[in-house]
Amino acid sequence: YLTKVSTVNNSTKLHMYTSFMMVSHSNSHCCRSEDLHIFVGLKADLRNKLFGQHIASDIIFKAVSGFMKDNNPKKPLVLSLHGTAGTGKNFVSQLIADNVYKKGYHSKFVHVLSAILHFPHQSEIVTYKSQLQEWIKNRVKNCERSIFIFDEMDRIPPGLIDSIKPYLDYGKVEGVFFQKSIIIFLSNTGADQITKTAVDFWKNGKDREEMMLKDFESFLSPIVFNSDQSGFSKSTFLYSCLVDVFIPFLPLEYKHVVQCAMAAMRDEGLRPDEDVANQVARGLHYYPKLEKVFAVIGCKTVVNRVHLYR
């Protein structure tokens, strides 16, 4: 679509809108039960594939499986995932989608919206608002079990999410039932404080696993709401508590990078080689400067860097 559209329109802005709207009309199938997974594999996936995220693992499993088991939820499930780059926020969204749909992340009922790609111009907020509203409504009309992933929430023009507030707030709006959808916001908002908390735990000689949701909740949601870059405008989103849970993604350590590298080799059908995995992990940068405990960009580049050492 992107190439086709861009030859028609010279304006980049128009190109962005058009591609966004084109995608929105391109899939007009209804999701049937045969498209859906029997929801059983998430726990094992989180345990075996997501490394170093004991809080996210636990909370996401409880929230998503509880939601999927409820045949008549009152409102959509709204999760907000926070953390530095490469800690697994997009990855876990894929795991969720993989366990809801047989076609997983690539199912036509899973919609990923990127701030940079779909909402690049602050000045176009009014247009974006009405487009997003229409678009989401149509997607959910097609499939009430839709999943929406808003990536780079911190770059989404403030106020945009207000336009879909009614959908997140209530079950039914204008004859469309929203309460079975899952909305996942991804952002770096609050990442500095998450990092600080993890570093403090480490410096105090405490176990990583001793960190609990409550150590983050206290600052995570107020920060989201108070930050001008968070994409949630203060005005309406602020007090309404639409987000069911704010989930911290912890900075990853050397051993997690090794795990990521081993998994990357396995995924490619290669024999996992611990020497290679250690070389990959040693090749990354770590902080704090002196202690070098946490990988600066987590597992982000691991998949590609595995090839450098084989």
Ligand X SMILES: Nc1ncnc2c1ncn2[C@@H]1O[C@H](COP(=O)(O)OP(=O)(O)O)[C@@H](O)[C@H]1O
DSSP state of 244: S
Cβ 87 to ligand X shortest distance, Å:
4
Applying CB under 6 A, which of residues 6, 9, 24, 90 lies at the interface with ligand X?
A: 90
Cβ 291 to Mg ion shortest distance, Å:
26
Residue nearest to ligand X (CB): 88
Cβ 185 to ligand X shortest distance, Å:
12
CA distance 303 to 265: 8
**Among the candidate windows 50-58, 139-147, 158-166, 207-215, which touches ligand X by CB under 6 A?**
50-58
Answer positive or negative: Cα dihedral of 73, 145, 68, 111.
negative
SS3 sequence of 145-161: CCEEEEECHHHCCCCHH
Q: Which is nearer to Mg ion, 180 or 305 (CB)?
A: 305
Site string for ligand X, 159-188 (x = CB under 6 A): ---------------------------x--
- Please tell me the count of residues contacting ligand X according to CB under 6 A: 21
Q: Which is nearer to Mg ion, 5 or 96 (CB)?
A: 96
Whether the bond into 222 is cis, omega within 30 of 0: no
Which residues inside 276-305 make contact with ligand X, applying CB under 6 A?
298-300, 302-303
Give kind and range of the element (H or E) at residue 53: none
* Phi–psi pair at 173, nearest 5 degrees: -130, 130
Question: How many beta carbons lie within 10 A of that of residue 103, not counting itself?
Answer: 13
Applying CB under 6 A, which of residues 89, 111, 139, 305 lies at the interface with ligand X?
A: 89
